[in-house]
Amino acid sequence: MAKQHPGPHAQAPDQQHGQRWWKVMCLTGLDYFSTLGYQPGIAALAAGLLSPVATVVLVLVTLFGALPVYRRVARESPHGEGSIAMLERLLSFWKGKLFVLALLGFAATDFLITITLSSADATAHLVENPHLRSALGGHQVLITLLLIAGLGAVFLKGFGEAIGVAIVLVAVYLALNVVVVAVGLWHVATAPSLITDWTHALSLEHGNPVAMIGVALVVFPKLALGLSGFETGVAVMPHIAGDPDDTEQRPTGRIRGARKLLTTAAVIMSCFLITTSFITTLLIPADDFQPGGPANGRALAYLAHHYLGGAFGSVYDLSTIAILWFAGASAMAGLLNLMPRYLPRYGMAPHWARAVRPMVLVLTAIAFLVTWLFDADVDKQGGAYATGVLVLITSAAIAVTIAARAARQRNWTIGFAVIAAVFLYTTAVNIAERPDGVKIGACFIAGIVLVSLASRLARAFELRVTDVRLDEVAERFVRDTAHRTIRLIANEPAGRDLAEYRDKVHQIRADNDIPAEDDLVFVEVTVLDPSDFEAELHVRGEVLHDRYRVLTLEHSSIPNALAAILLHVRDTTGQLPHIYFEWTEGSPFAQFLRFFLFGQGEVAPVTREVLREAEPDRARRPRVHVG
């Protein structure tokens, strides 16, 4: 398996012992709990009077759909890669790589819209504050751009103190929301006419409870923002402290902590979703939710100001702005961590992508563009955010369905398949009604694929071997040739019969004037998954037909494998090895495409080019002969 590439914000050595699961939950909560800043208002716009009923449907899908799926993801992928890694293991060759790139496109949509949507909602809380409205009104886009620009100062410093900051922000924010919800419920309880008027209006609008549930199911996809945070929950698993006897292969304690984290966060959020949608629907006039209205994008802040006064409301605004802004910084760092886990292993990351600052500039510029296109409007970005969230959850549901089927768990397979079908429906409806999300996702996918292929093309001649491993027989072959000229024959095996090797030796000696007394060792490469960019090189030695020594190599690319074994032999023996090829028939361009896509093609010149890049000193470069 190819080595992993941690992101630029991978945890430092002193963090490897991890934190208690409830502390890490606060890190997840930056993304998950902060959606309370805008979710009730979006739900009211989407479902109207039916918002509490539709929210109950959302909670049921959360607790009995998304939560079981991600508890399984935590078990299957406990190292922070999430459901994308599960699907990557199930697929191979180029179709697997392209599928992962597509999922990365939607993940980029999710994270980037988290940044822009959170910043836009933080701006809404600033602009609509009674003390600041006159000074800041009409400058929403500029303020949002300034907030996005300020994110760089957070994640460039790293996230070593992120959990401590997250605990404070989440604790304060949830405590303030408990106060707002309690006051809201008290006002509803002391004015029974509110519930009577609401139920009467529901009956007039929708007829009977069956019709209400049916409509709630139809509008449910519009509330999918309330499902965010699960992918983040499994992404932060490496921060969770495990048991003393945990190993990388079996991190039982970490998995148990992650499942507690996911369950607790889902239960807390479900309680808030139901209560906040109930009080905002009953206590806020419908017109105030509309674009430009005082409750648009800030329904709970509206109640805080209205019922608890300007001082408490301003504190609530400040807390909401802080958690939304920090959620955006967390999302940007998450994106920087996600891409290096995959793209470098695929050979699809430009060299500058390994540096933080250039990536910061690129991501900030994209966030600026999205903010400008959506006019820093929370409602307009809701569809795009929901699309990114739903695609990732759907892919996770499909992944755990396949995993359960592979484990022959019939009941779990059926259950996860039903959940996957629900999310497929939800995703399809959301895309049909609000195509902005899939358009942005498609742009990210196209950009990632084009940049990735261009990068892989530019890096085609890099030495792509992470390690060379020889078995005992192969090591003996190398030792035996160390005291004389080392001559290797590159052979593409056919039948591997006696005639094949005898004729090959005769031809190579004739073409290159090699004395009969000089030893020759065959080298044959078996291509595994040619879409892999980096991989270990496994070398086995064998004697065929009692006379021909053969080194059998396994790798994703024939030229890279040959170059790597040549350099390994040179470094092991201190001698420059010689390798002999035949010219390949056919168009050079077609042969290059075969090499680029399938790891084969015109092997001789490509092997020489890989050696040239790996060893600039001609005097130390293994010799390549073509006849």
Give tens-digit pLDDT for 550-575. 999 888 788 888 999 999 999 999 88
Judged against a pLDDT cut of 60, whether residue 2 lies above it is answered with no
The Cβ-side half-sphere exposure at 47, using a 13 Å CA radius, reads 34
Instruction: Check if the beta carbon of residue 270 is closer than 8 Å to that of residue 432.
Output: no
Percent of the chain with pLDDT over 90: 25
Highest-scoring range by mean pLDDT, 14-28, 262-276, 519-533: 262-276
Judged against a pLDDT cut of 70, whether residue 325 lies above it is answered with yes
Q: Is 100 helix (H, G, I), strand (E, B) or coil?
A: helix
State how far the Cα of 360 lies from the Cα of 365, in Å rounded to an integer: 8
Of the pLDDT bands very low, low, confident and very high (cuts 50, 70, 90), residue 412 is very high
Range 100-123 average pLDDT: 82
578-581 β-sheet, strand order: 465-470, 535-544, 548-555, 521-527, 487-490, 578-581, 623-626
Provide the pLDDT for residue 141: 86
Judged against a pLDDT cut of 50, whether residue 1 lies above it is answered with no
pLDDT digits over 59-99, tens only? 999 999 999 999 999 998 888 777 787 877 776 676 667 77
Q: Which has the higher per-residue pLDDT, 174 or 584?
A: 174
State how far the Cα of 390 lies from the Cα of 604, in Å rounded to an integer: 48
Judged against a pLDDT cut of 80, whether residue 378 lies above it is answered with no
Provide the pLDDT for residue 12: 38
Highest-scoring range by mean pLDDT, 411-420, 447-456, 458-467, 473-482: 411-420
Judged against a pLDDT cut of 50, whether residue 608 lies above it is answered with yes
Range 107-114 average pLDDT: 81
State how far the Cα of 202 lies from the Cα of 112, in Å rounded to an integer: 37
Provide the pLDDT for residue 221: 73
Range 110-130 average pLDDT: 82
Percentage helix, strand, coil for the chain under 3-state DSSP, each rounded to 5: 70, 5, 25
What global pTM score does this model have?
A: 0.75
- The structure tokens listed for 524 are 């044959």
Judged against a pLDDT cut of 70, whether residue 493 lies above it is answered with yes
State how far the Cα of 391 lies from the Cα of 44, in Å rounded to an integer: 23
- The structure tokens listed for 205 are 């609008």
DSSP strand E in 152-266: where? none
Provide the pLDDT for residue 60: 92
Instruction: Check if the beta carbon of residue 517 is closer than 8 Å to that of residue 549.
Output: no
- Only one residue has tokens 């959170």, namely 118
What single-letter amino acid sits at 245? D
Of 211-215, 317-321, 408-412, give the lowest mean pLDDT range: 211-215
Nearest to 404 by CA among 72, 84, 121: 72
Q: What is the DSSP letter of 208?
A: S
- How many Cβ atoms are within 10 Å of 23's Cβ, its own excluded? 18
State how far the Cα of 264 lies from the Cα of 319, in Å rounded to an integer: 22
Angstrom CA distances, 304 to 117, 170, 273, stand at 21, 17, 16
Judged against a pLDDT cut of 70, whether residue 547 lies above it is answered with yes
Instruction: Check if the beta carbon of residue 495 is closer than 8 Å to that of residue 524.
Output: no
Provide the pLDDT for residue 592: 60
Judged against a pLDDT cut of 70, whether residue 540 lies above it is answered with yes
Of 120-124, 136-140, 186-190, 477-481, give the lowest mean pLDDT range: 136-140
Q: Which has the higher per-residue pLDDT, 560 or 421?
A: 421
- The structure tokens listed for 173 are 């924010």
Range 600-617 average pLDDT: 83
* φ/ψ of residue 51, rounded to 5: -55, -45
Provide the pLDDT for residue 444: 77
Of the pLDDT bands very low, low, confident and very high (cuts 50, 70, 90), residue 357 is low
Q: Is 19 helix (H, G, I), strand (E, B) or coil?
A: strand
Judged against a pLDDT cut of 70, whether residue 578 lies above it is answered with yes
Residues composing the chain? 627
Judged against a pLDDT cut of 80, whether residue 259 lies above it is answered with yes
- The structure tokens listed for 514 are 């090699």
What single-letter amino acid sits at 20? R
Average pLDDT, the chain: 82
Judged against a pLDDT cut of 90, whether residue 595 lies above it is answered with no
Provide the pLDDT for residue 363: 78
Provide the pLDDT for residue 593: 59
**Sign for the pseudo-dihedral over CA of 588, 2, 362, 35:** positive
**Sign for the pseudo-dihedral over CA of 129, 131, 134, 135:** negative
Percent of the chain with pLDDT over 70: 87
Judged against a pLDDT cut of 70, whether residue 157 lies above it is answered with no
State how far the Cα of 623 lies from the Cα of 563, in Å rounded to an integer: 10
Q: Is 20 helix (H, G, I), strand (E, B) or coil?
A: coil
Instruction: Check if the beta carbon of residue 543 is closer than 8 Å to that of residue 536.
Output: no
Of the pLDDT bands very low, low, confident and very high (cuts 50, 70, 90), residue 160 is low
What single-letter amino acid sits at 359? M
Hey, which residues does 490 pair with through a beta bridge?
523
- Only one residue has tokens 């170059």, namely 563
- The structure tokens listed for 147 are 């907030």
Instruction: Check if the beta carbon of residue 434 is closer than 8 Å to that of residue 581.
Output: no
Instruction: Check if the beta carbon of residue 536 is closer than 8 Å to that of residue 469.
Output: yes
DSSP string, 497-566: -HHHHHHHHHHHHHHHT--TTS--EEEEEEE--TT-SSEEEEEEEEEETTTEEEEEEEES-HHHHHHHHH
State how far the Cα of 196 lies from the Cα of 198, in Å rounded to an integer: 5
Instruction: Check if the beta carbon of residue 340 is closer than 8 Å to that of residue 5.
Output: yes
Of 1-5, 219-223, 253-257, 387-391, give the lowest mean pLDDT range: 1-5
Contacts of the segment 398-406: beta carbons below 8 A, 24+ positions apart: 398/87, 399/73, 399/76, 399/83, 399/86, 399/87, 399/90, 400/69, 400/72, 400/73, 400/76, 400/83, 400/86, 402/90, 403/72, 403/76, 403/86, 404/72
Provide the pLDDT for residue 7: 46
Judged against a pLDDT cut of 90, whether residue 411 lies above it is answered with yes
pLDDT digits over 232-257, tens only? 788 778 888 888 888 877 899 999 99
Of the pLDDT bands very low, low, confident and very high (cuts 50, 70, 90), residue 349 is low
Give exposure, 86-122, as e/b (b: 16+ Cβ within 10 Å): bbbbeeeeeebbbbbbbbbbbbbbbbbbbbbbbbbbb
Judged against a pLDDT cut of 90, whether residue 266 lies above it is answered with yes
Judged against a pLDDT cut of 80, whether residue 229 lies above it is answered with no
**Sign for the pseudo-dihedral over CA of 534, 535, 536, 538:** negative
Range 387-400 average pLDDT: 88
pLDDT digits over 14-61, tens only? 334 678 899 888 888 888 898 888 788 888 888 888 989 889 988 999
Provide the pLDDT for residue 16: 47
Provide the pLDDT for residue 14: 38
pLDDT digits over 123-139, tens only? 887 887 777 777 777 77
